[in-house]
Chain A
Amino acid sequence: MIDQALRDAGLSIKDVDGVCHAGSSMQLAEYLGVHPRFTDSTMTGGSSFEVHVEHAAAAIAAGLADVVISVYASTPRGDRARAGTGGGGRRGGPPPGMGPNPGLEWEMPAGIRLPMGAYALAATRHMAKYGTTAEQLAQIAVSTREWATMNPKARYQSPITIDDVLNSPMQSSPLHLLDCCLVTDGAGAFVMTSAERAKSLAKAPAYVLGVGTCHDHSMISQMPDLTTTAGTVSGPAAFSMAGIKAGDVDLLMGYDSFTITALLHLEDLGFCGKGEGGPFAEDGRLGPGGSLPMNTNGGGLSYTHPGMYGMFLLVEAVRQLRGECGQRQVPGAEIAVAHGSGGVLSCMSTVVLGAEAALS
């Protein structure tokens, strides 16, 4: 995967002097035989890779590194098949790290199924507070599947209807099976270097125009407001750095672990007002031909979701800016936003990417 990414960029492993990994950058570097002078093992769940972009951009700008890589590969589906079980191996609570995991004491005894239950709690509150409907949430899954029909690599490519979503088995109310992301195997990688160096490389670069990150809790019961994420901080920070407004965005790659996740991003990044995500999604504007193409690869809902999906947001955003997306290409896409969500709506990280044309 790293080899493919480097060849795509016209670079080799010998050029790499910075390594990011959402686990152990030391292990990754040792495996690759790289002795990096910039290293980053930031692990914020699904948004780790957007944070890696942020850190790598800062490191390159500060002269700490010239060429930085990040890679992600995970095989939960294969692991499950090999274990011969129907599941049960899903992560149970926030990642451990500092002493006892408070989730064991304050959440798990209540029988919450994570991560799904956390998002369900957010959805229930959003529906009660703003009148958001199950149909509106389902429309996000439907629009996303429409994109997936045009991605030959998507796991699910057959169109679905709102009724299909509502009739799929209830998991953790109000979330149905088709409100939830897949569990697939998958891998992705990115290579970053300075804008100056990128000019002479193999492919047209995607430029990092703005970045922003914020997290406001780890356990869902500690989230300050179940209907408002830290994207209200990371999004404006990234947009401001890039000098753009929501209306300038040609493509939104918004982390869709669940339909409610994507709906909250629409509001918190300012594509619509707080509480208006349901009506905003309702008319299909997020699908092909709509005014805000979202998750054109088919998303975590239909394309792939190996556990920490944020890498795939970046990969699709870059492909769209380069015009490599074939049937699902967003015509003339110049500005793409990759917005990662990690933990249980915990760590939001926003990356604004632009094609060459967006620089002028």
Chain B
Amino acid sequence: MSATPPRRMEPPVIPVAEPFWAATRERRLVVQWCLECDRPVFYPRENCPLCLSTNLEWRDCSGEGSLYSFTVNHLSGNPTGAEGPFPVAIVELAEGFRMMSNVVNCPLEHLEVDMALRVTWEELSDGRNYPLFEPAGGTA
């Protein structure tokens, strides 16, 4: 019940994820890639969770994806700073990994599983940007 609207909870940075967050300063979405398995690794790790290789590199993502699932949170204590009910999403990226985020610029009634999404960004207090997703064709 504070007088000022709540800000988004800002994610901490574990050392292995520093390149991910550094790229967000340029509004680039990157992902670790296992060169042994030829597949993405997310969230960032020291080792590939399939083969335990450390032969990983960072690659740029297209920023395109689809809505794997979502829930509209009606509860109080909103840590995203949004007003009222807001959608929490798991987004399936075109590169073949999933991340949790929010869908923005989309009326709640237009949310649909498997709808096409693209990344957009919200500035954090330290110059990083938080990856959000919006309908691929722009505002729905």
Contacts and interface: CB of A to CB of B under 8 A. Distances in A.
Contact of A113 (B8, B10, B69, B75): B75
A195 interface: no
Contact of B43 (A106, A124, A129): A106
A95 B70 CA distance: 23
A113 B73 contact: yes
A226 B74 contact: no
A125 B66 CA distance: 13
Contacts, number: 104
A109 B9 contact: yes
A125 B69 contact: yes
A99 B15 CA distance: 12
A104 B11 contact: yes
Interface in A212-229: 220-222, 226
Interface string A99-119: 110101111111111001100
B77 interface: yes
Nearest to A169: B74
Interface string B16-57: 010000000000000000000000000100000000000000
A83 interface: no
Given A100-B14, A110-B102, A125-B68, A171 B75 contact: yes
Contacts of B73: 111-113, 117, 172
B75 A121 contact: no
A206 interface: no
B77 A221 contact: no
B72 interface: yes
Contacts of B89: 110
Contacts of A173: 71-72, 74, 85
Contact of A121 (B8, B10, B69, B130): B69
B45 to A, nearest CB: 9
A101 B85 CA distance: 26
Contacts of B11: 104-106, 108-109
A109 B6 CA distance: 12
B140 interface: no
Interface residues of B, number: 36
A108 B79 contact: yes
Interface string A145-167: 00000000000000000000000
B98 interface: yes
Contacts of A247: none
A96 interface: no
Given A100-B14, A105-B12, A121-B71, A110 B101 contact: yes
A170 interface: yes
Contacts of A123: 71
A259 B130 CA distance: 33
Contacts of A116: 75
A172 B68 contact: no
Contacts of A330: none
Nearest to B17: A105
B9 A108 contact: yes
B114 interface: yes
B78 interface: yes
B17 A111 contact: no
A108 B80 CA distance: 9
A110 B130 CA distance: 9
A221 B100 CA distance: 6
Contacts of A129: 113
A233 B43 CA distance: 25
B88 interface: yes
B86 to A, nearest CB: 6
B13 interface: yes
Q: Most B CB atoms within 10 A — which of A106, A110, A226?
A: A110
B71 A124 contact: yes
A150 to B, nearest CB: 32
Nearest to B98: A221
A346 B125 CA distance: 34
11 contacts: A104-B12, A106-B99, A107-B100, A110-B89, A110-B101, A111-B8, A111-B82, A112-B71, A112-B88, A125-B69, A172-B71
Given A102-B43, A105-B14, 5 more contacts: A108-B9, A109-B79, A124-B70, A169-B74, A172-B88
- Sort A-B residue pairs by CB-CB distance and give the 8 closest, nearest first: A128-B113, A120-B71, A111-B80, A125-B69, A173-B72, A221-B100, A121-B69, A105-B11
